[in-house]
Chains A and B, each alone.
Chain A
Amino acid sequence: MSAFSAIGDGQPTDQDDYTPELEPQATWCPGCGDFGVLKALKGAAEELGKSPEEMLLCTGIGCSGKLNSYFDSYGFHTIHGRSLPVARAAKLANPGVEVIAAGGDGDGYGIGGNHFMHTARENHDMTYIVFNNEIFGLTKGQTSPTSPKGHKSKTQPSGSAKEPLRPLSLSLNAGASYVARTAAVNPNQAKEIIIEAMEHDGFAHVDFLTQCPTWNKDAKQYVPYIDVNDSDDYEFDKTDRREAADMMAETENALHEGKVLTGRYYVDKDRMSYTEEKQAIGEMPEEPLAERYFHDSYEWERSADLFLDKHK
Chain B
Amino acid sequence: MTDNEFIWRIAGGSGDGIASTSQNFAKALMRSGLDVFTHRHYPSRIRGGHTYTEVRAAAEPVKSRGDGYNFLLALGDSFARNPQEDAYYGNEEIKPLSENLDELREGGVIVYDSGLLDASEIEDFDARVEENNWHVYDIDLRNMARDVGREVMRNTAGVGVTCALAGIDLHWIEELMSDAMPEKILEPNLEILNKAHDMVVEEYDVDANDVTVPEGSHDEEQVLMSGSDAIAYGSLDEGCRFIAGYPMTPWTEVFTIMCQNLPEVGGISEQVEDEIAAAALAVGASHAGAKAMSGSSGGGFALMSEPLGLAEMTETPVVLIEAMRAGPSTGMPTKPEQADLEHVLYTSQGDSQRVVFAPGTVEEAYTQTRRAFQIAYEYQIPAIVLYDQKLGGELVSLPASHFDEEPNPSLGSTLTEAELEEAPHDDSGKYSRFQHDVEDGVSPRSIPGQKGGRFLATGNEHTPEGHIAETTSNRVAQMDRRTEKLEAISADLAAQDETHQTHYGPDEATYGLMTFGSQQGTVEEAVDMLNEQGHSVKALGVSDMAPYPVDEVSEFIESVDEVLVVEMNASAQFRGLTQKELGKYGEKLSSLLKYNGNPFEPLDIVEGFKTTIIEGGELSSNKTKFVPAAGD
Contacts and interface: CB of A to CB of B under 8 A. Distances in A.
Given A118-B272, A304-B405, A88 B454 contact: no
A160 to B, nearest CB: 26
B306 interface: yes
A85 B222 contact: no
Contact of B449 (A97, A293, A308, A311): A97
Contacts of A78: 280, 310, 459
A311 B284 contact: no
B358 to A, nearest CB: 22
A77 B284 contact: no
Nearest to A51: B451
Contacts of B223: 308, 311-312
B288 A85 contact: no
A292 B280 contact: no
B452 A53 contact: yes
Interface stretch (B8-16, B237-245, B619-627): B237-245
Interface in A208-254: none
A69 to B, nearest CB: 6
Contacts of B270: 89, 92
A139 interface: no
A118 B277 contact: yes
Interface in B389-434: 400, 403-407, 409-411, 414, 416-417, 426-430
Interface string B226-247: 0001001100110101101000
B274 interface: yes
A63 to B, nearest CB: 13
A85 B276 contact: yes
A307 B241 CA distance: 15
Interface in B90-131: none
Interface stretch (A37-45, A151-159, A262-270, A276-284): A276-284
B537 to A, nearest CB: 34
Given A22-B465, A53-B452, A289 B280 contact: no
Contacts of A4: 417, 447-451
Contact of A294 (B269, B278, B416): B416
Q: How large is the interface on B (under 10, 10 to 19, 20 to 34, 35 or more residues)?
A: 35 or more
A53 B451 contact: yes
Interface string A100-129: 000000000000001101100000000000
B455 interface: yes
B460 interface: yes
A164 interface: no
Given A94-B288, A284-B268, A308-B403, A89 B449 contact: no
A89 B288 contact: yes
B265 A301 contact: yes
A85 B459 contact: no
Most chain A beta-carbon contacts within 10 A, residue among B223, B239, B447: B447
B563 to A, nearest CB: 37
Given A22-B465, A293-B289, A312-B223, A90 B400 contact: no
B334 interface: no
Given A52-B454, A289-B241, A85 B280 contact: yes
Nearest to A111: B276
Interface in B513-563: none
A310 to B, nearest CB: 9
A218 B88 CA distance: 60
Interface stretch (A5-13, A141-149, A182-190): A5-13
A96 interface: yes
B282 interface: yes
Contact of B448 (A23, A74, A301, A306): A74
B455 A74 contact: yes
A289 B448 contact: no
Interface string B286-305: 11111110000000000000
Contact of A283 (B229, B263, B274, B429): B263
A96 B448 CA distance: 10
Nearest to B224: A311
A21 B261 CA distance: 46
B413 to A, nearest CB: 13
B285 interface: yes
A52 B448 CA distance: 10
Contacts of B430: 20-22, 72
B467 A74 contact: no
A86 B264 contact: no
B264 A306 contact: yes
B458 interface: yes
B280 A5 contact: no
B272 to A, nearest CB: 7
A89 B404 contact: no
B128 to A, nearest CB: 39
Nearest to A117: B273
Contacts of B427: 21
A292 B430 CA distance: 25
B176 to A, nearest CB: 10
Contact of A302 (B272, B274, B406): B406
B454 to A, nearest CB: 5
B266 A89 contact: no
A290 B411 CA distance: 10
Interface string B318-353: 000000000000000000000000000000000000
Given A88-B284, A285-B266, 17 more contacts: A4-B417, A5-B451, A20-B430, A73-B454, A77-B457, A79-B309, A82-B276, A85-B281, A89-B244, A89-B284, A89-B292, A114-B277, A118-B273, A301-B265, A303-B403, A304-B400, A304-B405
Interface of A: 3-7, 9, 20-23, 52-56, 58, 61, 68-69, 72-79, 82, 84-94, 96-97, 114-115, 117-118, 278, 282-285, 289-290, 292-294, 298, 300-304, 306-308, 311-312
11 contacts: A53-B452, A82-B310, A90-B287, A92-B242, A93-B242, A289-B242, A289-B267, A293-B239, A300-B409, A301-B265, A312-B224
